[in-house]
Amino acid sequence: MSSRKLSLGVKIFIAMILGIVVGIIAYQLGWASYTTTYLKPVGTIYINLLKFIVVPVVLFSIVTGVVALKDLRRVGSIGGKTFVYYICTTAIAIIIGLFFANVFKNLGWFPKLETTDLVYEAKSSDLSKVIVNIFPSNILSPLVNADMLPLIVIALFLGAGILSAGEAGQRVGSLISDMNDVTMKILMMIIGFSPIGVFALMVDVVAVNGAAIVGSLALVLLVAYIAYIVHVVVVYGLSVKFLSKMSPVAFVKGMSSAMITAFTTTSSSATLPLTIECSNNLGALPEVSSFVLPLGATINMDGTAIYMGVTSIFIASCYGVDLTLAQMATIVLTATIASIGTAGVSGAGMIMLAMVLESVNLPVAGIALIAGVDKIFDMGRTTLNITGDATCAMWISRLEKEKMAKKE
Q: Is the pLDDT of residue 175 over 90?
A: yes
Task: Dump pLDDT digits (tens) for 214-261.
Answer: 777 788 999 999 999 999 999 999 999 999 999 999 999 999 988 988
What distance in Å separates the CA atoms of residue 190 and residue 11, rounded to the nearest whole number?
14
Residue 130 has pLDDT above 80, yes or no: no
Question: What's residue 3's pLDDT?
Answer: 45
Q: What is the pLDDT of residues 270-309, one digit of tens each?
A: 687 788 889 999 999 887 887 788 777 767 889 888 998 8
User: What digits encode the pLDDT tens for the residues 335-385?
Assistant: 777 666 555 445 556 777 877 888 788 888 788 778 777 778 888 888 999
What is the pLDDT at residue 170? 87
- pLDDT above 70: residue 176: yes
Task: Give the separation between CA 232 and CA 226, rounded to whole angstroms.
Answer: 10
Mean pLDDT of the chain: 82
**CB of 340 closer than 8 Å to CB of 93:** no
- pLDDT score, position 68: 67
Give 1's pLDDT tier (boundaries 50, 70, 90).
very low
What does the pLDDT look like over 75-84, one tens digit per residue?
Answer: 456 778 888 9
Q: Is 347 left (phi over 0), alpha (psi -120 to 50) or beta?
A: left
The answer regarding whether domain 8-402 maps to CATH 1.10.490 reads no
Least confident of 13-17, 125-129, 201-205, 250-254: 125-129
Residue 126 is predicted with a pLDDT of: 54
